[in-house]
Amino acid sequence: MPGRFVYWMNVSLDLKIEHAPGEQGGGEWMRIGEALHQEFNTRARAFTAMVQGRTIYETMESFWPAARTDESLPGYLREYGEIWTSAPKVLVSRTRTTAEHNTRVAGDDVIGALTRLRAETDGDIGVGGATTATLLLRAGLLDELLLFTHPVVLGGGRPLFDDLESPVELDLIEQQSFEEGVTMHRYAVRHSDAP
């Protein structure tokens, strides 16, 4: 059975992933406490591999490798640093040709490379970044959305997906609430060839 691409993101109630340019997944509107971060750790540890666009990859790369051994950070953050750094990753980028931390770069034939990755992988592949997720969705390769919705309406900013040509139908397969007021919703993407 081929792997499955799972797009996971923190979002606002109006499905924005950042309010101001350059927030890079760290906006003050997010309510990420220990319990929620432990959930992130559990989910990330379960991924067989990760695929990330350049922007999100570089954001992660700038913090998480050093976080592994930073004794000033709580254990759950050091743990996520170890998970991210050790996981096999594919960086989707037209501008970078090399990357560290168990990462290979897919630059030219991205859809071909990700189609092969999906065929060769057993398990879930975490996807980070709206551009990469939109590319996978348009190619019929995106299988799930794993959304952590924060109780805020941003009113503007970067959307969860780039412009789509038609509606995307989903099926809710899991939901959970956290102390911070954040809810998790996991959806299966209905593909056009599905019954």
Domain 10-157 CATH assignment equals 3.40.430.10: yes
Domain positions in the chain are: 10-157
Q: What gap in Å lies between CA 86 and CA 124, rounded to an integer?
A: 16
Q: What is the pTM of this model?
A: 0.93
Q: What gap in Å lies between CA 185 and CA 175, rounded to an integer?
A: 5
| Alpha-carbon distances of 107 from 29, 52, 90, 112, rounded to whole Å | 33, 12, 10, 10
Q: Which of 16-20, 49-53, 126-130 has the lowest mean pLDDT?
A: 16-20
User: Are the C-beta atoms of 12 and 154 separated by less than 8 Å?
Assistant: yes
Q: Per-residue pLDDT for 80 more than 90? A: yes
* Mean per-residue pLDDT over the chain, rounded: 93
Q: What gap in Å lies between CA 1 and CA 65, rounded to an integer?
A: 32
Task: Express each pLDDT in 101-147 by its tens digit.
Answer: 999 999 788 999 999 999 999 999 999 999 999 999 999 999 999 99
DSSP H helices in 69-129 = 75-86, 110-120
DSSP string, 11-72: E-TT-EEESSTT-TT--TT----HHHHHHHHHHHHH-SEEEEEHHHHHHHHTTHHHHTT-TT
Number of alpha carbons in the 13 Å side-chain half-sphere of residue 92: 23
Q: Per-residue pLDDT for 193 more than 80? A: no
Q: What gap in Å lies between CA 47 and CA 125, rounded to an integer?
A: 5
Q: What is the pLDDT of residue 24?
A: 63
Task: Express each pLDDT in 135-187 by its tens digit.
Answer: 999 999 999 999 999 999 999 999 999 988 889 999 999 999 998 899 999 99
Task: Express each pLDDT in 35-46 by its tens digit.
Answer: 999 999 999 999
Q: Per-residue pLDDT for 195 more than 70? A: no
